[in-house]
Structure 1
């Protein structure tokens, strides 16, 4: 019998308890531990989700290591992306009901999904796309909504505009290229040479090998740059924009002095996942217009291993890492 099972027996019925993967101190992946907690109850505008799969993203590592952009009081349960079945709903929840298969994120703090059950804000979940399984669905919410909001809410792109997407082979970049193609934009992406054909297949009109070529010497007059890389790539991107253009970053705050110098606008944003955009994304998936970028699926018991991959301590395959909580 495991320690968690013992704890369940000591503290009450296992029906009232669950296993969660928590941190009690900020630090390396090894601070993650399995812990028996009481199953939560949904409050106003909340749903209790029986979690089948939870996505693993870089923001999980930032939270675990104490580098989150938001206050994160300890202890906490890691994880935001999730897919599962509604177990119960709180007052005010109308668009989902017990028994519905849903996907989305837990809450604005991006915590709570690495568990048997999780509380999610009702306005941050939607019906799961019917054509994909829970593991695939858990890979979608944060990165797909980030791509959508970068292009249209912050980039304000419209048909015929030219967009440069840095990191086109990455999780967010792959979605951004597909959304841009669907919106009839002129799509340029940077990626490694061995990803060039895949990025073209996603819908990029032109792919620049960032390891071999200098995009800043090849481009000019771009309407919007979507920065998913940061660092020197972000800095060099100001020079390829037309005056009045926009640089939208999902990774770091752009230099506002440079923005003024080049006569452009530059933004950093935190994604705000919502039901309406999840519904839009789900419909695109079910219609076959949008391909997922799910990668390695690990059991939830390998949460530490998944975070070691995030940190580069272990080899990491391409695509989004997903933790399977139950079959």
Structure 2
């Protein structure tokens, strides 16, 4: 089979497309024929070695964690999943394996989905929707009626966070580029701020919760609009929380952790047509490098997919 692999830590120019042996599944694994896999910022951090203290990679390493596809085989101890089932999954980051024609995934990391849904777009769910769910409901514990500001509301995590916060009864404000204002309104935001031409720190309502996927200056300036006792959840990179604590703000960096129950919950919302998956671009597997270039450029609308 074909796979996008790296043989050492490096840059996107070090990605190689190779013919490799099909994965051998263990007793509690499933083998999935990949319909699509989604890029995440973490993929680039893993490739560059920024996360090697947490997720050391064994080389050669097949890239990608988020996938959707069809089960073709199951291990002897797998129950509840059968060949022919449509599934989504997030592999362990140290294992990777999504950017390939076939992927072996522990059954505990797999969620079945309706065969009636467009399977490819579901690859965009696991990390992005899971991160949004974790940030809003587990870290921030948002409640109906609260004011929530979501940065990059048209992005992978942001587009899900806008929808989930709106479904939870929060009053959602989001930032986005001018080209994406209508999209973010349609996803459920009551107010959308064009971050390139408007100062969100000056015109955003006071927020009970800020979900930040950008970091840096955007995160720092968000402190000024959070009420005392409010929460700042940063997903881009670890940051100094002391300035927030000095203002009486509960600030934390959130690193997404796979959870089958959370994955099933977001999949159920998609099945019920209550959660829209925004797909910006799709690339064939052989053009994975171009997909990464678009990801690194920033400002992508929704999720970027590769299609084996």
Inter-partner Cα distance in structure 1 for 2:79 and 2:93? 20
Q: Quick check: 1:213 aligned with 2:201?
A: no
Inter-partner Cα distance in structure 2 for 1:277 and 1:129? 17
Q: Residue 243 of structure 1 aligns to a residue in which SS?
A: strand
- Spell out the pairing of 1:99-114 with structure 2 (5 A cutoff): 99-109=84-94, 111-114=96-99
- Encode CA deviations 1:202-250: one digit per residue, 9 max, x unaligned: 1011112222222222346421110111111101111211111111111
Q: Quick check: 1:81 aligned with 2:52?
A: no
The aligned counterpart of 1:14 is none
Q: Quick check: 1:187 aligned with 2:175?
A: no
- Encode CA deviations 1:101-126: one digit per residue, 9 max, x unaligned: 11121224361111121111222211
- Encode CA deviations 1:277-307: one digit per residue, 9 max, x unaligned: 2222222112221111112222111122222
My pick for the range that moved more, 167-176 or 90-99, is: 90-99
Gaps spanning 5+ residues in structure 2: where?
Answer: none
My pick for the range that moved more, 120-129 or 161-170, is: 120-129
The aligned counterpart of 1:236 is 221
- Spell out the pairing of 1:200-279 with structure 2 (5 A cutoff): 200-219=185-204, 221-279=206-264
CA, structure 1 residues 172+129, in 2 after alignment: closer, same or farther (shift >3 Å)?
Answer: farther
Q: Quick check: 1:27 aligned with 2:16?
A: no
Inter-partner Cα distance in structure 2 for 1:317 and 1:158? 29
The aligned counterpart of 2:25 is 42
Q: Quick check: 1:55 aligned with 2:38?
A: yes
The aligned counterpart of 1:95 is 80
CA, structure 1 residues 317+252, in 2 after alignment: closer, same or farther (shift >3 Å)?
Answer: closer
- TM-score, reference length from structure 1: 0.87
- TM-score, reference length from structure 2: 0.92
Q: Quick check: 1:319 aligned with 2:302?
A: yes
Inter-partner Cα distance in structure 2 for 1:170 and 1:37? 33
* 8 Å Cα contact 1:164-1:189 kept in structure 2: yes
* 8 Å Cα contact 2:34-2:68 kept in structure 1: yes
CA, structure 1 residues 40+95, in 2 after alignment: closer, same or farther (shift >3 Å)?
Answer: same
My pick for the range that moved more, 58-67 or 245-254, is: 58-67
Q: Quick check: 1:163 aligned with 2:151?
A: no
* 8 Å Cα contact 1:104-1:273 kept in structure 2: no
Gaps spanning 5+ residues in structure 1: where?
Answer: 1-17
